Amino acid sequence: MTDERQSRRTFLLGVGASTAALVGLTAGQSFELLAPFNLFAPRVKGDGPQMLPVNRTAAQAGVVDLAGDPSWRLRVEGARGSIKLSREDLTRMPQSDAVLPIACVEGWSTTAHWRGVRLADLLVLAAVDPDRDVRMESLQPRGAYRTTTMPPHYAWDPLTLVVLELNGQTLDADHGYPARVIAPGRPGVLQTKWLSVIREEPE
C-alpha cells in the first residue's frame, strides 16, 4: 500500500473514530478506499453522526421526547411473561460486537461497528419460543418502518444485536437511541431504530 493510500484510509476512518480495534476490523475492506471516488452516491461513508448516514432522524420520526425519556424501558415478551429492562440494565448485561453494514434501498451501504446485547440473550430471558417469529416495535408512533418481523434464523443469530453503541460511542438519537436492532443479511429498512417492544409473534 502506498503512503498516500495509507493516509487516505487513516483519514477516512476518522480521527475521533476511536480505536486500533476498529482499524483492525476494517483493514483490507476495499470500500474504504473506493468511498471517496463514489461521487454520485446520494450519501457516502462519513455522512451523519458517528460516520453513518441517517435515513430518518429522531425529529422526523417524532420520537425525540420518548427516546430521551429516562423512564424508557425495553419490554421483551414471551408467551409466558415479559421482562422490562432500562438502558442501564442492558448495559450491565454481557456486551457483544459486530461489524455489519446498513444497506438502504435509497442507494447507500455503510459498514459500522455495533455493540450491544445479543438479541438471543434477551429472548432466553423472556423464554421466547425459538421456533417463533419475533416482532420488534419502535417508539415511532406511525410510519411504514416502525415495526419488523424477524424469522428465528435471524433472531437467534449471535451477530444480531440490540445495539447500545455505534462506532465506539453511545448510539446517537438519529441512529436509534436508546436501542436499535442490527442483524446480518437484512435490508436497512428492517433494522428497526428506537426499540420499544420485542415480542414473540403468536401462532
Ligand X SMILES: Nc1nc2c(c(=O)[nH]1)N[C@H]1C(S)=C(S)[C@@H](COP(=O)(O)O)O[C@H]1N2
Where on the chain is the footprint of Mo ion (CB under 5 A)? Answer: 55, 104, 188-189
Positions 58 through 87 that interact with ligand X (CB under 6 A)? 61
Segment (H or E) for 155? helix 152-155
Q: Which helix (H) or strand (E) holds 162?
A: strand 161-166
The helix (H) or strand (E) run that includes residue 48 is none
CB of 35 to Mo ion, least distance (A): 18
Find, among 54, 12, 7, the residue nearest to 32 by Cα. 12
Residue 186 contact partner, candidates Mo ion, ligand X, none, CB within 5 to 8 A by sort of partner:
none
| Residue among 36 and 141 whose Cβ is closer to ligand X | 141
Q: Choosing among ligand X, Mo ion, none, which partner's interface includes residue 198 (Cβ < 5 to 8 Å by kind)? A: none
Instruction: Provide the grid cell at 18.
Output: 476511536
Residue count of the chain, please give it. Answer: 203
Cβ distance to ligand X smaller for residue 130 or 143: 143
178 binds ligand X (CB under 6 A): no
Cα Dmax for the chain: 59
Q: Interface residues with ligand X (CB under 6 A)? A: 52-56, 61, 102, 104, 138, 140, 143, 145-146, 175-176, 188-189, 191-194
